[in-house]
Amino acid sequence: MQPEEMPSPQASTPPAAPLRLRAWNTINRSGIAVVFVVLFVLLSATVPDFLTTRNIQGLLLSVTLIGSIAVTMMLVLALGEVDLSVASIVAFAGVVAATVITQSHSMLLGVVAGVLAGGAVGLVNGVLVARFKINSLIATLAMMEAVRGLAYLTSNGDAVMISEESFFALGSGAFLGISYPIWSTIAGFVVFGFLLNKTVFGKHVLAVGGNSEAALLAGLPVMRIKIMVFVLQGLVTGFAGVMLASRMSLGDPKTSVGLELGVISACVLGGVSLTGGVATISGVLIGVLIMGAVQNVMSLMNVPTFYQYLIRGGILLLAVLFDQYRRSRRRV
Amino acid sequence: MTTANAAIQQATRAYLELNGVTVSFPGVRALDGVSLQVRAGEVHGLMGENGAGKSTLLKVLSGVNHPQAGTLRLDGVTQHFPNTRAAIDAGIAIIYQELHLVPELTVAENLMLGQLPHRFGVVDRRALIRRAMDELKRLGEHIDPRTPVKHLSIGQRQMIEIGKALMRDARVIAFDEPTSSLSARETEHLFRIIKALRNDGRAIIYVTHRMEEVDVLCDRVTVFRDGKHIETFDSVADLDRHRLIAAMVGRPIADIYGYRPRPAGDVLLEAKGLMGPGLAEPASFTARRGEIVGFFGLVGAGRSELLKLIYGATRASAGHVELAGKRMNFASPRDAVHAGIALCPEDRKQEGIVAVASVADNLNLSARRHFCRAGFLLDAKRERELAQEYIRKLAIKTRNGDTAIGTLSGGNQQKVILSRWLAERIEVFLMDEPTRGIDVGARAEIYHLLYELAETGRSVLIVSSDLAEVIGVADRIIVMREGRIVGNLPKAEASPGELIKMALPR
């Protein structure tokens, strides 16, 4: 046992630790962040064109879809649940938005309709899981299929083209040189980071995921908390779907297949516990950025697609192995 | 003095009053017209065997279970609890045996869970820490409120649970076997706190299996059996233990240990300089055929760790085990079982049984390797017969072999685990807290089985924190303290005072 790693629960006021100890604690606490920094420096030094404003912009834009959904997936995982239906919600919300805009010529109506469509799916997920006690893996697996079907039905099987000019600005416009999807993703991290760390609701989510029995006996409205989280996930994912439709200028029922795994991977990379109760917003941010950086570099270096799958899987395994190693050392 | 008068008045009137409370589940009447009066300023002991209805009663108080009949009154006002929130708001707190804290949240957050101070939904951290600090000071605990609960000891966690109750100013506090995993020192501290709560005029319900605790702590005792109120003893001072046990069990049991001496044979198991995690120095001892060796010590003295070393569940860093004079080298529990050593773990639910599987499957878990066909095909008929044989021999109370073991009582689960090893031709039984959570009647049966094991030439090693049990059952007692063997006494020389003196940290 290394004395530096001992937690000091007895100390009534944490004494000022020596610098070396504090540095080690920081590394320990932020294990995956270290991985990211090393990775980023390594890539900047070795991969030509990686560290350019244009490429970094492109990298950030490429992670907006996963990133914007990861913030609420984080809450779902923190509850000890999972949501596999997000990819289908993205497609469904996009199609709904496109259809409503085409019919009504109102951008606002379309955006609202898309977001609410996502929220409605989230509500059903939440009620199935919280009220009817269906395992969230199964409930959202079923919803993943059903909602994909709804997306096809709404669009009659084809992509819905959008002709409303103002709608494209949503996905392609920029403010201070940074495009709106990146802004909205940043906003998502700020809002949900605040929600998780600073609000009563965030603490309640962690409590339900950490020990649902304790939460129930402490008088928390466990069922309502769970439903709320799924609804939030649906609304945010619906918005992500609308943004995607705006960028592609069409609502595509076939889009984003397999996205849920990318989102969950990013969260796990960021240290979110699949058994619930543990989540940090900074971890999720880094998880998303690692995913984006690796993907970006593989494109820059023209790595063949088949190898890209292999590398993505390998990186995820390495990251969680590292995390496990770090945690087991700390516990000894 | 007016406060004294008020205290006397309070003491004579029931603060919590249950009348004819009935709770039924499909097929079971868990509480059958139960009445109970608890006064403000008393510690009211609640005893009974498992399944007597104590837990159900606590769940009625906490708003988890809803009675089909009967009334619950607090300070004369009839109450209905549609959910846990309502019970909390009415001033009832339950401190369960399995503590209900969120390990990843901090001490402060756990203390105030459900009533976090906030402004428009945003947690007011400063108020949170300040109020938590005040509460911790009141409890006399020196804990940083920002520490995650997962870093606390069991005793400290219990204090946090009590703190939770006090932060809500609970007037009724129920404890469910709170000392089962506390050290002697932590228990003493807990009792001081409970007495202070009583003197503060709160109504305390104290559920326990231990007679000694009733003697030192309780003012009155109520006994439940089979969901019914059997008797309330109004004075603990002149309480007749035999009458109390008879009320719990439904028949008189003179001596639950029923010790039977027997001759010891050759040395069967010998540990030679065994060293590993949890031990402070190499451990050596012997166990003879026909001998029951008790291991006494405080929680954390290294007894369970020693058993796990013998069993090959953890790797020894030095030393070895000899079985009937032959040097053994177990890489895993599987090796130990094949050699004839078996462990019945302390935490039955987590480590002993597969709760959802049937009695027969649990029983055949290990032995089936001897009679499966072609090395992998189950012999269903043989397994059924084996299960029936042991259900009959050990009088296991189950509908049949197909019943899920999780639905059985703790005592019967333990019998199934014993059967599993009896079917395996095991010679050395390592029993870690063999009767934890098992009620009086079933305990006597388990002891009887252990004597039978010894009488047939086997060795039994028992780790127990229950002093009376170690003295009552073992032929020889090994005392451990802080990872060391510090005493090895034959039954005749083992007095409770001597054992405790040896076990306490220096």
Number of H helices and number of E strands within chain B? 17, 22
* Angstrom distance (rounded) from CA A181 to CA B493: 80
User: Which of A200, A228, A273 has the most B C-beta neighbours within 10 Å, making it the best mutation to test the interface with B?
Assistant: A200
DSSP state of B352: I
* Angstrom distance (rounded) from CA A100 to CA A113: 7
B104–A contact, CB cutoff 8 A: yes
CB contact under 8 A, A203 and B147: no
Q: Which chain B residues are Cβ-neighbours of A202 within 8 angstroms?
A: 123
Looking at residue B252, what is its pLDDT? Answer: 61
A10–B contact, CB cutoff 8 A: yes
User: Which of A203, A228, A232, A275 has the most B C-beta neighbours within 10 Å, making it the best mutation to test the interface with B?
Assistant: A203
User: 3-class DSSP state for residue B205?
Assistant: strand
The CB density around residue B486, as the number of other CB atoms within 10 Å, is: 14
Looking at residue A23, what is its pLDDT? Answer: 61
- Closest chain B residue by Cα to residue A219: B85
Chain mean pLDDT for chain A = 84
B322 beta partners: B270, B327
- Chain A (247-306) residues lying within 8 Å, Cβ to Cβ, of chain B: 277-278
User: 3-class DSSP state for residue B409?
Assistant: coil
Residue A274 token pair: 């699949």
Residue B301 token pair: 């003295």
Q: Which chain A residues are Cβ-neighbours of B164 within 8 angstroms?
A: 218
B100–A contact, CB cutoff 8 A: yes
A12–B contact, CB cutoff 8 A: yes
A17–B contact, CB cutoff 8 A: no
* Angstrom distance (rounded) from CA B58 to CA B227: 13
Q: Which residues contact B13 (CB under 8 A, 6 or more apart)?
A: B39, B40
Residues A233, A88: contact at Cβ < 8 Å? no
Residue whose C-alpha is closest to residue B410's, from B454, B450, B441: B441
Residues B390, B363: contact at Cβ < 8 Å? yes
* Angstrom distance (rounded) from CA A308 to CA A321: 20
Residue B489 token pair: 């006494």
Q: Which chain B residues are Cβ-neighbours of A215 within 8 angstroms?
A: 102, 113
- Closest chain A residue by Cα to residue B117: A200
Residue A273 token pair: 């516990």
CB contact under 8 A, A219 and B83: yes
Looking at residue A150, what is its pLDDT? Answer: 94
CB contact under 8 A, B121 and A9: no
CB contact under 8 A, A219 and B121: no
Q: Which residues contact B410 (CB under 8 A, 6 or more apart)?
A: B50, B348, B436, B437, B438, B439, B442
- Chain B (16-75) residues lying within 8 Å, Cβ to Cβ, of chain A: 62, 64
Q: How close A327 comes to chain B (CA, Å)?
A: 14
CB contact under 8 A, A199 and B88: no
* Angstrom distance (rounded) from CA A282 to CA A131: 31
* Angstrom distance (rounded) from CA B211 to CA B205: 15
* 3-state helix, strand and coil shares in percent for chain B, rounded to the nearest 5: 35, 25, 35
CB contact under 8 A, B142 and A217: no
Residues B180, B5: contact at Cβ < 8 Å? no
- Chain A (167-206) residues lying within 8 Å, Cβ to Cβ, of chain B: 198-203, 206
Name the region of B435 (left: φ>0; alpha: ψ -120 to 50; beta: rest): alpha
Q: Which chain B residues are Cβ-neighbours of A14 within 8 angstroms?
A: 144, 146
Residue whose C-alpha is closest to residue B219's, from B230, B207, B203, B235: B235
CB contact under 8 A, B156 and A9: yes
- Closest chain A residue by Cα to residue B128: A200
Q: How close A76 comes to chain B (CA, Å)?
A: 16
Tally C-beta pairs within 8 A across A and B.
86
* Angstrom distance (rounded) from CA A195 to CA A178: 25
User: 3-class DSSP state for residue B317?
Assistant: coil
Q: Which chain B residues are Cβ-neighbours of A13 within 8 angstroms?
A: 144
Tell me the C-alpha to C-alpha distance, in Å, between residue A227 and each of A80, A117, A123, B4, B151: 13, 16, 6, 51, 31
User: Which of B95, B102, B154 has the most A C-beta neighbours within 10 Å, making it the best mutation to test the interface with A?
Assistant: B102
The CB density around residue B360, as the number of other CB atoms within 10 Å, is: 24
CB contact under 8 A, B118 and A211: no
ipTM over 0.95: no
Q: Position of tokens 């605040």?
A: A194
3-state secondary structure chain A: CCHHHCCCCCCCCCCCCCHHHHHHHHHHHCHHHHHHHHHHHHHHHHCCCCCCHHHHHHHHHHCHHHHHHHHHHHHHHHCCCCCCCHHHHHHHHHHHHHHHHHHHCCHHHHHHHHHHHHHHHHHHHHHHHHHCCCCHHHHHHHHHHHHHHHHHHHHCCCCEECCCHHHHHHHHCEECCEEHHHHHHHHHHHHHHHHHHHEHHHHHHHHHHHCHHHHHHCCCCHHHHHHHHHHHHHHHHHHHHHHHHHHHCEECCCCCCCHHHHHHHHHHHCCCCCCCCCCCHHHHHHHHHHHHHHHHHHHHCCCCHHHHHHHHHHHHHHHHHHHHHHHHHHHC
- Closest chain A residue by Cα to residue B103: A210
Looking at residue A239, what is its pLDDT? Answer: 95
CB contact under 8 A, A12 and B142: yes
- What DSSP letter does each residue of B251-274 carry, written as one string? S--S-SS--------SEEEEEEEE
User: 3-class DSSP state for residue B416?
Assistant: helix
* Angstrom distance (rounded) from CA B275 to CA B183: 24
The segments of chain A whose pLDDT lies below 50 read 1-17, 331-332
- Chain A (205-244) residues lying within 8 Å, Cβ to Cβ, of chain B: 206-207, 210-211, 213-221
Could you list the beta-strand ranges (E) of B53-171.
Answer: 69-74, 77-79, 92-95, 118-119, 122-123
Residue whose C-alpha is closest to residue B417's, from B52, B426, B369: B426
The segments of chain B whose pLDDT lies below 50 read 1-2, 10
CB contact under 8 A, B84 and A203: no
Q: How many CA atoms lie within 13 A of A255 on its CB side?
A: 27
Cross-chain CB nearest to B144 (options A11, A206, A215): A11
Terminal C-alpha separation, chain B: 46
CB contact under 8 A, A207 and B84: no
CB contact under 8 A, B118 and A219: no
Q: Which chain B residues are Cβ-neighbours of A220 within 8 angstroms?
A: 113-114
- Give me the sign of the Cα torsion angle B73, B79, B81, B84: negative
CB contact under 8 A, B114 and A220: yes
Residues A115, A235: contact at Cβ < 8 Å? yes
User: 3-class DSSP state for residue B414?
Assistant: helix
Its pTM stands at 0.72
A56–B contact, CB cutoff 8 A: no
B39 beta partners: B14
